[in-house]
Structure 1
Amino acid sequence: MVRLRLYALCLAGDMAGLFGAFLAANYFVLGALWGEPGKPHGLIMFAMVAPLYALLAVQGGAYGINTLGRLRRGIFRALLALAQAAMLMLLIVYLGKMAEQLSRLTFVAGLVAGGVMLALVRVAVARLGDRLLGDVPLLTAVIMDGVTIDTGPHMAVLHADAAGLHPHRHDADMAARLAAAVGMAERVIVACPLERMSDWSAALKSLSARGEIVVPELLRFAPARIDEFDGQPTIIVAGGPLQFRDRLVKRLFDLIVAGVATILLLPLLMAAALAVKLTSPGPIIFRQPRIGKDARPFSIYKFRSMRSEASDSKAAKLTTRDDDRVTRVGAFLRQTSIDELPQIFNVLKGDMSIVGPRPHAAAARAGDSLYWEVDARYWERHCIKPGMTGLAQVRGHRGSTDDHQDLIDRLQSDLEYVSDWSVWRDLRIIFATLGVLVHHKAY
């Protein structure tokens, strides 16, 4: 009940904040709190935006548990709902031919001020929630019935025998005991032996909370989810780390960064190409097959840094320090990472991303073993596009892979990036890359 009141308070605060934001926009843009005579611009905009925002915010989870426990996510969802409401309002204004009747500057100012107010409301409600519910409300109840599992610090842990919970008794008394034991929890997790899972499955169905049963046997398939095909339950063991919207955002990010980089770096690209051409015979660009997204091969582009006759197109032998195959200009290009710059065109083609796991050659080895022979998780890094730079590179895991640990260190970072991607992380990695362009392992 307290959480419901907080959610209602958050919604009311959002409405008050948007109302005040558009009134303030009226005052600062038009010089009058209520707008021009006969043209209450801010009030009309608020009346159009507010109901659209409320509907989209509720639908988008801006008033869920994230408001209390995950402040930044709650603010992001509120701002996303406001942006969507603004787009819908613009569509309505356009179709209704009302654009000339409204002040564009008032609209923009109201939206900016409204976004600030939405964030402030969530900060205030989150602090109030901390006072009333504690740092994290107990929304998860864990019932241990003969099986012990590790739990977090903010969970209600129940032992079935101590609480008098006997799932094989499918009667009213058992249902009442279970409801009283879990209280207002929104998620109930049961750890029990395999033979009691069906009894607990029946018992949990009487609750309005989401009921789950720990199945240790599924760990071999983790991370996994449940779905169905033609009425039969299935285990989803792979689905890609990025949703369709995330893939679109990442692709747009790649095109913008690669396009700007191509323009800014054009003089450097031309100078490097000229240096390669004038100092050794052979092609300027070196192409080599690499493993890309979905483990599909593609040709990676680099400035040629080795003598043409000594180039290793299959990467059967990794480059070593003071490698006699590398030309004098090539050594400089490799030490400064300039030899990697043509991969901007791989990004524009769609073979690569600006940020992602670095692409490997199929014949590359760690010690005497092929990469996928070292760690069974190796192929998980290929569920997204490879990158010009990556988390492993900014952490210093680059150069030759002389032993298994060299690959494992890179793989750990690659899998961390794959499972926790965001545009902001890509930006941080790009800026961090600037500090490791010249590196003692770049040879």
Structure 2
Amino acid sequence: MRSAGESAVTALTDRPSSQSGLNTGAFARHRIRFTSNIAGPIFFVADLICLGLSVPLSLIAYRLFFADRLVTSVGIFAFSSAGATYLLIRASRHAYNRTLVNLFEHEADSVIDALAAVLIASALVWQFGMIENLSRGIAILFLLSFSALLLASRPIVRGAVRYLAGSGSIEQRIVFYGADPASIAMIRRIIELMDLPHLKYLGVADDRPKVKSVDGLKMIGGLDQVLELARQGELDQVLFCVPNMPPQRLHAIVEELSNVSVDVAVVPSEAIQLAPDYRVHLLGQLPVLTLWQRPFRDINGLVKRGEDLLIAGTATALLSPVMLIVGLLVKISSPGPVFFVQPRIGFNNELIRVLKFRTMFADRSDLKAEQTTTANDPRVTPIGRWLRRLSLDELPQLLNVIKGDMSLVGPRPHATHMKVGERYYQDAVRGYAGRHRVKPGITGLAQVKGVRGEIRTIERAKLRVEYDRKYIENWSVWLDLGILLATFRAVLYDADAY
């Protein structure tokens, strides 16, 4: 006769589920199953194979291209030193500690690490007085063959790991503890965004359930049933997702789970409430949820400023004849100043004075941008219409960049009273203030993605802010250069600018 716990486990494992992502069918206990931590050792074995193959390949190539004989002892020492150094460098980068969550990390540096290993091995050979007997040709051939094998092996290994995950050989079986439908639904949505095929949800456990089902998952019982699953080797991890669970109760349950072989993790309520607008970092040993982070810190700030000064200074020198002609056209086309100086919101919500060529009649200028510019706006001069269409009115902002008020690329600075519909931007779009974490730009990601000119709807305003935040979170010099190149196309083909 089976106990209540055994009955619950049997009911769980004998009934197939029709829900996507569930794994409540009969388990193949005879099959070897790994968790996603096996990904690191697989990459380690792949690197060992690449090291092993690169030695004979480089020797074969050396015999084809060079007639000199190699000193065997020196060659063995050099190969061994290079291989050991490479593995140590990769281990120091935690490249062999990866799981399916960070499967694609550390790969861009593998060839650089191979180069560093060869240089260090050459230095060791020199240090031991054997440099005269080491052929530079064999060192170069080893580096080339090893690098080629590393590059070729990466997609193969990643594909193999993905296949093993999809077939169930790599699998992590999870039980949620705490029948809180909202929390579990949010956790599953976040996990689904990560594309982790090895995760299988067995169900939900709760000793004090208030619901009969949660998001299609089976209710498997309480703590006794969880313990039984763990003893049978059918469970890998328990996720606590109960908001505001009393610490005493949590500690008591965790103490019971410590008697069996299972991973136990707690999903903080803040991680659920704030999802997905954060990144997890460690402050020493303390995990913190980072909601906002300065993108241009330390060396990044210097690189960004150097990029601005170099490109803006060069552009100002090259375009000065064009700016002179445009200034003359503005002056003779209508009475008033050449430049329109407008207060706008800049870095850290500070006001900056943005320079533009004047495109409106002087007596109809709108310093606070209380009225949105529209197509065929009667306030715009005939010359101004062309300047706005080709974005030539923005050229004086190169001086703002050189001064340091603006950057070449960044979120466009908005006027102090700019509205979308009948609402101010900061009131209409959630997270709007986050775009002021960086200096505003002459152009930006939103502009090259077609969200420039008049903003007529809340949805379009949200899209612009979303692109601004995406730029801030993914900044790189290459992204800036790509946006600058794409700006020329956007200026020529975007009919929304007027």
| TM-based fold match above 0.5 | yes
What does residue 96 of structure 2 align with? Answer: 63
Matching of residue 399 in structure 1 with residue 460 in structure 2 = no
Asked if the contact 1:240–1:384 (Cα under 8 Å) also holds between the matched residues in 2, the reply is no
Matching of residue 240 in structure 1 with residue 293 in structure 2 = yes
What does residue 108 of structure 2 align with? Answer: 76
The code of the aligned residue for 1:378 comes to Y
User: How many residues are paired up?
Assistant: 429
Q: CA deviation at 1:425?
A: 4.6
Matching of residue 388 in structure 1 with residue 442 in structure 2 = yes
Q: 1:89 to 1:69 in 2, by over 3 A?
A: same
> RMSD of the TM alignment (CA)?
4.7
CA distance, structure 1, for counterparts of residue 120 and residue 396 of structure 2: 42
Q: CA deviation at 1:411?
A: 1.9
Q: CA deviation at 1:209?
A: 3.9
Give aligned-pair identity as a percent: 27
Per the normalisation by structure 1, the TM-score is: 0.74
Asked if the contact 1:351–1:385 (Cα under 8 Å) also holds between the matched residues in 2, the reply is yes
Asked if the contact 2:412–2:440 (Cα under 8 Å) also holds between the matched residues in 1, the reply is yes
Q: Unpaired segments of 5 or more residues in structure 2?
A: 1-32, 207-218
CA distance, structure 2, for counterparts of residue 369 and residue 379 of structure 1: 15
User: What secondary structure sits across from 1:300 in the alignment?
Assistant: strand
Offset from partner CA, 1:234-263 (integer Å, 9 cap, x none): 96453416384xx74575367447635653
Q: 1:411 to 1:125 in 2, by over 3 A?
A: same
CA distance, structure 2, for counterparts of residue 221 and residue 298 of structure 1: 34
Offset from partner CA, 1:372-412 (integer Å, 9 cap, x none): 11123211222333333223222322212344344223123
CA distance, structure 2, for counterparts of residue 92 and residue 300 of structure 1: 58
User: What secondary structure sits across from 1:119 in the alignment?
Assistant: helix
What are the equivalent positions in structure 2 for 1:23-422 lying under 5 Å apart? 31-32=65-66, 47=80, 49-65=82-98, 72-79=104-111, 81-82=113-114, 111=143, 114-134=146-166, 137-139=170-172, 141-148=174-181, 149-150=184-185, 151=188, 152=192, 154-158=198-202, 159-160=204-205, 163=220, 165-166=222-223, 177-178=229-230, 183-184=235-236, 188-192=238-242, 194-195=244-245, 199-200=249-250, 203-204=253-254, 206=258, 209=263, 211-213=265-267, 215=269, 219-220=273-274, 223-224=277-278, 236=289, 238-240=291-293, 242=295, 244=297, 248-249=299-300, 252=303, 255-256=306-307, 259-260=310-311, 262-263=313-314, 266-280=317-331, 286-307=340-361, 311-421=365-475
What does residue 6 of structure 1 align with? Answer: 42
Per the normalisation by structure 2, the TM-score is: 0.67
Q: 1:410 to 1:52 in 2, by over 3 A?
A: same
Q: CA deviation at 1:335?
A: 0.8
Larger Rg: 2
The code of the aligned residue for 1:56 comes to I
Asked if the contact 1:62–1:78 (Cα under 8 Å) also holds between the matched residues in 2, the reply is no
Between 248-257 and 119-128, report the one with greater CA deviation: 248-257
Asked if the contact 1:190–1:213 (Cα under 8 Å) also holds between the matched residues in 2, the reply is yes
Between 112-121 and 216-225, report the one with greater CA deviation: 216-225
